C-alpha cells in the first residue's frame, strides 16, 4: 500500500496516508481499537472498496486499475475469512467448500478431490457431510478457512477470525493459520486477541485513527518499551 | 459454455426450491398480476371491437330525386364504390322504402296509403370505412345531380367520433398504467427473493465468482418464476374462458368477434412473454445492485 487514504461519502476518513509493504510469505497481525481502520484496509485489499488516494498493489498490480472482469480473478488469489464465518446454512461442509469452486467455473470432477484435500488440511474430513448448525464454532471457522483455501490463494486474510470463539478454540484456529503460513501463504490477520498476538511473536502492525502507529517484527500486542 | 449453462440452470432450480416461500410469493404475485393484466386486455379488446363495430355502422344516407334515371344512379353508385372511404353502397328503391316504412310503422299505414302517390324517395345507403370520413362523402354527394339531399347527421357522427376517441385513449392509458403497476410489483417481489439471498451473493463475490456466474442463475430463476406464473395464469384463463366469453357477449351486446378463440391465443402469448420478460428483468435489476461496485 502506497500513500493510501480512504474517506467515505459521509466524510469519515478511515485511513490516512498508509504505507505498508508485506513481503510474500509473511505473517502479519493487524491490531488496533475498533474503528481504527482494520476492516477498511481489508476491504481495500480484496478490492471491495477502492482507495480515495494512493495505490494498493497486489503482486505488483494496482487493484484500482483492474478492469471489472479481472476483479474475480484477483479475488481467487486471496482467501478471506470473517468473524461471522459466512457459511451457507443449507449446504453441507463439503458443499460449502465446493461452492467456491463451483461458482468460479471449476469442472465438477475436479471439485471433489480439491475439497477433500483442503478438508484434510483443516482437519474436517469426518464432518464433511454435516451442516453448519451441527458444527461447533471452531469447526464452522475451519470450514470457512477450508473454503478460503480451496483456490490455493497466495494471500490469506482473516478478519477477527477468533472473535466469536472461546480461547482454546481460538488457539486451534491460530495454529491452523500458522500452518497455512508455513505452506508459503502470506497471512494477514486482523485481531483484538492480545494474548494470541503476544504469544506468537510475529510482525505486528498497529492502527489508530487510520494511521499506522507501530510496525514491529517479533512483537507483542501492546508496545513494549 | 455448456458447463456454465448447466451450472446456471441447476443453481436456478435449486434456488427456486430451496427458497420455497419466496418463490411461492413471487409466483403468486406474478399470477395475480398477470390475471389482472389479461383481464384488462380482454376488457379493452371487447371495448375496441365494440367501438369498431359502432364505427362501421355509420352510414351516409342520400335521397335521390324522383327524376333521377337508373343510368344516373348506376354511374353514381359506381363512382362511390371507387372511393377509398366507402366500403359498401346499397340502393333502396321507392318501393323498398315504402315497404321499410310500413314494416317500421305499421300503425301509420293508413296515413301513407291515403296519399295519392308514394312520397318516399329512393336512396343510397353508403357504409364507411371510418366514421371520420362522413363529411368527405356527404359533401361529394351534395354536388351530384341525381341527389336531392343528404341526410345530415354530422353532429351525431362528430359526437360519436369524440366519445370513441376518448374511450380508446382511456383504454390505452389504463393498459399502460396497469402494465407499469404490474411491472413494479413483480420486480419488487423478485427483488425481495434476491435480497433474501444477499449473503449467498456476497460469498460468491468473495470467493471470486465472475459477474456472469452470479447473475445468470438468478436470471434463469426469474424466468422460471415467470414461466410458472404464466402457465398457471393461462390455465386459469382457460378454465374461465367460457364464463368470460358469455360475460363479454352479454356486456358488449354487439360484440362481433368471438373473444374466446381469437383473442385467447394472443392473450396467452402476451401473458407468457410478459411473465418471462418481467421475471428476467426483475432478477437482472435486483442482482445488478449487488454487482455494481
Q: Does A147 touch chain B (CB under 8 A)?
A: yes
Distance from the Cα of B286 to chain A's closest Cα (Å) equals 19
Residues 155-214 (B) with a CB less than 8 A from some CB of A: 199-200, 202-211, 213-214
Q: Which of B3, B205, B213 is closest, CB to CB, to A107? A: B3
Residues 75-94 (A) with a CB less than 8 A from some CB of B: 75-76, 78, 80, 86, 88, 90
Q: What is the pLDDT of residue B251?
A: 64
* Confidence grade of residue A25 (pLDDT, cut at 50, 70, 90): very high
Distance from the Cα of B214 to chain A's closest Cα (Å) equals 8
- Give A-chain residues touching B208 at CB under 8 angstroms: 72-76, 78, 100, 104, 151
Are the beta carbons of B213 and A104 separated by less than 8 Å? yes
Q: What is the pLDDT of residue B256?
A: 47
* CA angle centred on A221, ends A218 and A223, rounded to 5°: 85
Which contacts qualify for B22-25: CB closer than 8 Å, 24 or more apart? B22/B192, B22/B193, B22/B196, B23/B193, B23/B221, B23/B225, B25/B189, B25/B192, B25/B193
Q: Does A67 touch chain B (CB under 8 A)?
A: no
Average of pLDDT values for A162-172?
Answer: 89
Q: Does B9 touch chain A (CB under 8 A)?
A: no
- Residue B202 CA to residue B291 CA, distance in Å, equals 9
- The residues, ordered by sequence, that sit 6+ positions from B239 with a Cβ below 8 Å of its Cβ are none
* Confidence grade of residue A225 (pLDDT, cut at 50, 70, 90): low
Closest CA to B41 of A51, A150, B33, A164: B33
- Give A-chain residues touching B203 at CB under 8 angstroms: 86, 88, 99
Q: Is the dihedral of CA B103, B106, B109, B111 positive or negative?
A: negative
Are the beta carbons of A75 and B208 separated by less than 8 Å? yes
Average of pLDDT values for A140-169?
Answer: 92
Cell representation of residue B272: 407468457
Are the beta carbons of B213 and A69 separated by less than 8 Å? no
Domain residue extents for chain A: 24-50+66-216
- Residue A190 CA to residue A197 CA, distance in Å, equals 10
Q: Which of B4, B7, B200 is closest, CB to CB, to A88? A: B200
What share of chain A in percent tops pLDDT 70? Answer: 100
Q: Does A72 touch chain B (CB under 8 A)?
A: yes
Which of B199, B208, B211 best probes binding to A when mutated, by most A CB atoms within 10 angstroms?
B208
- The size of the A-B interface in CB pairs under 8 A is 55
Q: Does B1 touch chain A (CB under 8 A)?
A: no
Residue ranges of domains in chain B, CATH in brackets? 2-54+161-291 (no CATH), 58-152 (3.30.70.3040)
Tens of pLDDT along chain B (293 residues)? 777 888 888 888 888 887 788 888 888 888 988 888 888 887 777 777 777 777 777 788 888 888 888 888 888 888 888 888 888 888 888 888 888 888 888 887 787 778 888 888 888 888 888 777 877 888 888 787 788 888 777 777 778 778 888 888 888 898 888 778 877 887 787 788 778 888 888 899 889 888 888 889 889 988 998 999 999 998 888 888 777 777 766 666 555 445 555 667 788 888 899 889 988 988 888 888 887 65
- Residue B170 CA to residue B47 CA, distance in Å, equals 11
- Residue A5 CA to residue A30 CA, distance in Å, equals 17
Q: What is the pLDDT of residue A41?
A: 93
Residue of B nearest to A105 (CA): B4
Which of A103, A110, A153 best probes binding to B when mutated, by most B CB atoms within 10 angstroms?
A103
Are the beta carbons of A72 and B210 separated by less than 8 Å? yes
Tens of pLDDT, residues A109-151: 899 999 999 999 999 999 999 999 999 999 999 999 999 999 9
Are the beta carbons of B7 and A102 separated by less than 8 Å? yes
Are the beta carbons of B206 and A80 separated by less than 8 Å? yes
Q: What value does the mean pLDDT of chain A take? A: 91
Are the beta carbons of A104 and B208 separated by less than 8 Å? yes
Residue A187 pairs with which residues in a beta bridge?
A27, A156
Q: What is the pLDDT of residue A101?
A: 92
Q: Which of B4, B208, B293 is closest, CB to CB, to A76? A: B208
Fold of A24-50+66-216: Rossmann fold (3.40.50)
Give the 3-state secondary structure of residue A215: strand
Give the 3-state secondary structure of residue A74: helix
Amino acid at each position: 500500500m502506497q500513500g493510501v487514504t480512504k474517506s467515505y461519502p459521509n466524510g469519515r476518513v478511515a485511513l490516512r496516508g498508509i504505507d505498508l509493504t508485506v513481503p510474500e510469505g509473511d505473517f502479519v497481525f493487524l491490531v488496533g481499537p475498533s474503528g481504527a481502520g482494520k476492516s477498511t484496509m481489508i476491504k481495500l485489499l480484496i478490492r471491495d472498496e477502492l482507495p480515495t488516494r494512493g495505490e494498493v498493489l497486489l503482486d505488483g498490480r494496482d487493484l484500482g486499475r483492474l478492469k471489472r472482469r479481472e476483479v474475480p480473478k484477483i479475488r481467487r488469489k486471496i482467501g478471506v475469512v470473517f468473524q461471522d464465518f459466512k457459511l451457507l446454512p443449507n449446504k453441507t461442509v463439503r458443499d460449502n467448500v465446493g461452492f467456491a469452486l463451483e461458482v468460479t467455473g471449476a469442472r465438477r470432477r475436479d471439485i471433489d478431490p480439491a475439497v477433500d484435500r483442503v478438508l484434510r488440511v483443516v482437519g474436517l474430513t469426518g464432518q464433511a457431510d454435516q451442516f453448519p448448525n451441527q458444527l461447533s464454532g471452531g469447526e464452522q471457522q475451519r470450514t470457512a478457512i477450508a473454503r478460503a483455501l480451496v483456490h490455493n490463494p497466495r494471500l490469506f486474510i482473516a478478519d477477527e477470525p477468533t472473535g466469536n470463539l472461546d480461547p482454546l478454540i481460538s488457539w486451534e484456529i491460530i495454529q491452523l493459520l500458522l500452518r497455512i503460513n508455513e505452506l508459503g501463504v502470506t497471512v494477514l490477520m486482523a485481531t483484538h486477541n492480545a494474548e494470541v498476538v503476544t504469544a506468537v511473536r510475529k510482525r505486528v502492525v498497529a492502527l489508530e485513527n487510520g494511521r499506522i502507529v507501530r510496525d514491529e517484527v517479533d512483537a507483542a500486542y501492546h508496545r513494549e518499551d | 459454455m455448456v458447463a456454465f449453462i448447466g451450472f446456471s440452470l441447476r443453481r436456478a432450480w435449486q434456488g427456486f426450491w430451496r427458497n420455497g416461500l419466496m418463490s411461492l410469493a413471487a409466483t403468486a404475485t406474478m399470477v395475480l398480476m398477470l390475471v389482472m393484466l389479461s383481464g384488462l386486455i380482454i376488457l379493452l379488446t371487447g371495448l375496441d371491437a365494440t367501438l369498431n363495430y359502432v364505427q362501421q355502422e355509420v352510414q351516409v344516407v342520400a335521397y335521390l330525386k324522383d327524376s333521377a334515371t337508373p343510368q344516373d344512379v348506376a354511374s353514381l353508385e359506381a363512382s362511390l364504390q371507387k372511393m377509398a372511404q366507402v366500403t359498401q353502397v346499397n340502393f333502396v328503391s321507392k318501393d323498398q322504402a315504402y315497404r321499410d316504412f310500413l314494416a317500421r310503422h305499421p300503425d301509420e299505414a293508413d296515413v301513407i296509403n291515403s296519399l295519392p302517390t308514394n312520397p318516399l324517395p329512393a336512396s343510397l345507403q353508403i357504409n364507411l370505412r371510418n366514421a371520420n370520413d362522413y363529411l368527405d362523402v356527404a359533401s361529394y354527394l351534395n354536388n351530384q345531380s341525381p341527389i336531392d339531399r343528404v341526410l345530415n347527421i354530422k353532429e351525431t357522427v362528430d359526437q360519436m367520433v369524440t366519445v370513441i376517441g376518448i374511450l380508446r385513449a382511456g383504454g390505452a392509458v389504463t393498459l399502460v398504467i396497469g402494465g407499469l403497476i404490474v411491472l413494479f410489483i413483480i420486480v419488487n417481489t423478485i427483488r425481495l427473493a434476491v435480497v433474501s439471498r444477499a449473503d449467498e451473493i456476497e460469498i460468491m463475490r468473495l470467493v471470486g465468482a465472475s459477474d456472469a456466474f452470479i447473475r445468470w442463475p438468478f436470471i434463469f430463476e426469474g424466468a422460471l418464476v415467470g414461466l410458472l406464473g404464466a402457465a398457471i395464469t393461462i390455465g386459469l384463463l382457460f378454465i374461465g374462458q367460457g364464463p368470460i366469453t358469455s360475460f363479454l357477449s352479454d356486456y358488449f351486446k354487439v360484440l362481433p368477434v368471438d373473444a374466446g378463440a381469437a383473442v385467447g391465443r394472443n392473450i396467452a402469448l402476451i401473458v407468457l412473454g410478459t411473465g418471462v420478460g418481467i421475471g428476467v428483468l426483475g432478477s437482472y435489476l435486483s442482482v445488478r445492485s449487488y454487482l455494481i461496485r
